[in-house]
Structure 1
Amino acid sequence: MPLSRLPRELRDHIYTFVCFTVRDEPQPSTCQKEDRRTREPSDSLAPVIRDRVWVERRPIHNPLLSLMLVNRQVYQEAQDVLRRIGDSPDYVLDVMFLKDEALWPTWLSVPKLGRNLGTVYTQFRIFHVPDHLRTDDGGDLYGSEGPGPPPIVWIFYHLLSSFLRNGPLATKKDDDNGGFTVRTLILDFLPASEKGILPLASLIQYFKEVDDISASTSSDFDWKQNTSDEGLLAAEYLAHFIKALLLRLLSLGPLTIKYGRILYENVGDIEIWVDGHTKWRLDIPKLFSDVSFDHGIDTSHVLKNEQKFQHWKEVTSRRRADIGLLPDVSLRR
């Protein structure tokens, strides 16, 4: 039966179903570098992460767009459905972490492209690196010759900052127009399905050091836990590393204020999950309320910088209120 002969209510259900269609997760064995490209980091302090974050060359298009080309009637009805979805629907992002090598992010669901996103569910899957996806640079991602953090930190920060600046768009340059806001960012770390992913000894040592200087006052992670589920333990390790990294950024210390501000400006709240279950909620609104000026930022111009900080916090507070950066629980399990 032609689509036009179906009842309008049924057609609307079809449009909605198509709009929220989720793409299949990519697999490392079938991925090709020719279909991806790297994006130059906008921050010159992070040259070590070149060729480490591989994004799709083409921006993802909502499947509904093809349906809208059928005829004028379908176009108008599909537009009506898009308007009813709202301004900030939920999105799904998949990130393959090729162990100690690179990140491959893939948008699985983009119901409607807009600047203000609702809940963004991001799943992290951990794999060994297939030979055809190895980079030429086989350097140590956990070692750092300079005073800054090791490359592994820059890789994840570049993924985060690029996502907040560019959203699902496959732009060649970072967007400087305020970027994309996310009401609730869910980071779900899934158990590794491959054997031999552990040990991540260097990763563990680094986030233990970060714990000592982050906003975290205590660790609820058992470093000596013994489990036969190696895949789940790998997810736990990676989740704790990201938690420690985010808390350090959110503390807006002397070395991180330049990088952490974008989280307060663009993210309503962050939840960290392991295998579909909530592990931590970072409570961005409370952290933002409590964050204060660190006099170690520039001791030679303390007053001037403190005034700048207070101005930034007032502007950011208004921005968060204006764009409704409030938690959303629509995807909680």
Structure 2
Amino acid sequence: MTTTTLLSLPWEIRHQILRDAVSLERHPPSPCSIGSGRVCLRNHVDPYWTPITNIYVETEPVSSAQNALLQTSRQLRTETQDVLKATDARRYRLDVLFVKECGLVPTWLSFPRHQKHIDEVYVQMRISDPPDKPDEWLEAARYADDFDGSDRTSWNIMFLLTVYLLGGLHPTTAALSDGGTTPDYEDDDPFHSLPRNIAKYTIKTLIIDVLGQPADDADADADAGEAQDRARNVFGHCIFRAKAAGVDPAHKLARELWSSLDLALSVNHPHLLYGRLLHENIGAIEIRVNGVQWTRDDLTRSLCNNFGTVLPSDLEWVGERTAWTAWFEEVVGKRRRDGLWDEEVVEELKRAWG
């Protein structure tokens, strides 16, 4: 159908065609197809960690119907933009394959339009065994001797849910800093070696849904001895290495996701970048398992708990102004401007703290 033909249709029909076109979602990739057309996402932003991640991203820009429509005539471009503005925010959907022993494979299924504030982003996480011929993947997934497997797994989760997620379809690749150079850490200015303004938008609510079937007895990973020692630094081993009674893989991964996010939200070295990105750009995080809410936390609460107060002015007792108090003032102001600051949580904390 040509542009002229489309414009000749009645508005009601044309509007429905545009709605259907911009609402189309890509199909999640199958585990057997993830080895092609992907490259390892490099860490150009955090000098305290290795320059190589275990995140495998698509090499080609993601094409979409709305992008094609936005490059047509002025009238169709305007009509497409109007349809996009009215599109359900739930259509910001990211699929992530958690491939055991390999890494994370993210695929944007739908990203209606770039904007500064997104109401809701839905991330679905699926657990998968490695491909039948995983030699390349396993080689890339092996850890350096100075990195513990559990730390590296948590770091990749943090990196994916902050640097990659907040970068949209095209995460930053500019060499903002040389990852892995481990500069000296300065207590008086903890953010001095970290880049600013990575996030391209804020997210009101981030929903992470871990999808998976309940485990049966055959899924138990009870290998011991030398085999376990060799596997200790394999990606995800810290999550699936043993089968806790009554805990299926999906709940294990949900627990690891929250543990990693909670570690980042503490805003301690060497996870400063990720805690800062979460507090500055995300309102609340909800983790589900197969569609059922498992936990939820408002990041206003997390921020206030870190500082033991809800008002930056209450920090005057600490005396000299520090980089930490300055950041607290800055992030509170930013959350208020971006509609991420939850006054109900603030009032609840005020009552609890007297």
Query: Offset of 1:145 from its aligned partner?
Result: 3.8
Query: Offset of 1:192 from its aligned partner?
Result: 5.0
Residue aligned with 2:139, SS: coil
1:185 alignment partner, one of 185, 203, 206: 206
Per mean C-alpha deviation after superposition, the further-off stretch among 234-243 and 16-25 is 16-25
Distance 2:205 2:173 in 1: 26
Residue aligned with 1:291, SS: helix
Distance 1:189 1:128 in 2: 15
Provide the residue aligned with 1:160 in structure 2: 161
Query: Offset of 1:135 from its aligned partner?
Result: 2.2
Structure 2 matches for 1:1-333, cutoff 5 A?
2-33=5-36, 35-41=37-43, 42-47=45-50, 50=52, 52-85=54-87, 90-133=91-134, 134-135=136-137, 137=139, 145=146, 150-173=151-174, 176-179=196-199, 180-192=201-213, 198-199=220-221, 223-225=244-246, 233-253=248-268, 255-292=270-307, 307-325=322-340
Query: Offset of 1:90 from its aligned partner?
Result: 4.2
CA contact (8 A) 1:153 1:245 kept: yes
CA RMSD of aligned residues (A): 3.5
From the superposition, tell whether residues 117 and 57 of structure 1 become closer, same or farther in structure 2 (CA, over 3 Å): farther
Query: Offset of 1:308 from its aligned partner?
Result: 1.8
Per mean C-alpha deviation after superposition, the further-off stretch among 311-320 and 35-44 is 35-44
From the superposition, tell whether residues 162 and 263 of structure 1 become closer, same or farther in structure 2 (CA, over 3 Å): same
From the superposition, tell whether residues 238 and 315 of structure 1 become closer, same or farther in structure 2 (CA, over 3 Å): same
Per mean C-alpha deviation after superposition, the further-off stretch among 11-20 and 105-114 is 11-20
Query: Offset of 1:245 from its aligned partner?
Result: 1.4
Query: Offset of 1:282 from its aligned partner?
Result: 1.9
CA contact (8 A) 2:46 2:273 kept: no
Provide the residue aligned with 1:331 in structure 2: none
Q: Deviations over 1:154-180 (max 9, x none)?
A: 221221232244222154337853413
Residue aligned with 1:150, SS: helix
CA contact (8 A) 1:198 1:234 kept: no
From the superposition, tell whether residues 194 and 25 of structure 1 become closer, same or farther in structure 2 (CA, over 3 Å): farther
Consecutive unaligned residues of structure 1, counting only runs of 5 or more, are: 208-221, 227-232, 294-302, 328-333
Distance 1:205 1:55 in 2: 22
From the superposition, tell whether residues 155 and 312 of structure 1 become closer, same or farther in structure 2 (CA, over 3 Å): same
Query: Offset of 1:38 from its aligned partner?
Result: 2.0
Residue aligned with 1:53, SS: strand
From the superposition, tell whether residues 198 and 43 of structure 1 become closer, same or farther in structure 2 (CA, over 3 Å): farther
Query: Offset of 1:40 from its aligned partner?
Result: 1.6
Query: Offset of 1:281 from its aligned partner?
Result: 0.2
CA contact (8 A) 2:101 2:237 kept: no
From the superposition, tell whether residues 139 and 64 of structure 1 become closer, same or farther in structure 2 (CA, over 3 Å): closer
CA contact (8 A) 1:89 1:111 kept: no
Q: Which amino acid aligns with 1:22?
A: E
Q: Which amino acid aligns with 1:269?
A: A
Query: Offset of 1:138 from its aligned partner?
Result: 6.8
Q: Which amino acid aligns with 2:250?
A: A
Distance 1:305 1:238 in 2: 42
From the superposition, tell whether residues 40 and 178 of structure 1 become closer, same or farther in structure 2 (CA, over 3 Å): closer
Q: Which amino acid aligns with 1:262?
A: L
Distance 2:271 2:278 in 1: 11
TM-score normalised over the length of structure 1: 0.75
Residue aligned with 2:42, SS: coil
Query: Offset of 1:264 from its aligned partner?
Result: 0.2
Query: Offset of 1:28 from its aligned partner?
Result: 1.8
Distance 2:25 2:253 in 1: 25
Distance 2:244 2:72 in 1: 57
Q: Which amino acid aligns with 1:13?
A: Q
CA contact (8 A) 2:121 2:203 kept: yes
CA contact (8 A) 1:107 1:168 kept: yes
Distance 1:200 1:285 in 2: 40
CA contact (8 A) 1:265 1:316 kept: yes
Distance 2:141 2:82 in 1: 52
CA contact (8 A) 2:102 2:141 kept: no
Distance 1:125 1:96 in 2: 5
Per mean C-alpha deviation after superposition, the further-off stretch among 264-273 and 251-260 is 251-260
From the superposition, tell whether residues 132 and 224 of structure 1 become closer, same or farther in structure 2 (CA, over 3 Å): closer
TM-score normalised over the length of structure 2: 0.71
CA contact (8 A) 2:118 2:202 kept: yes
Query: Offset of 1:251 from its aligned partner?
Result: 2.3
Per mean C-alpha deviation after superposition, the further-off stretch among 96-105 and 170-179 is 170-179
Q: Which amino acid aligns with 1:74?
A: L
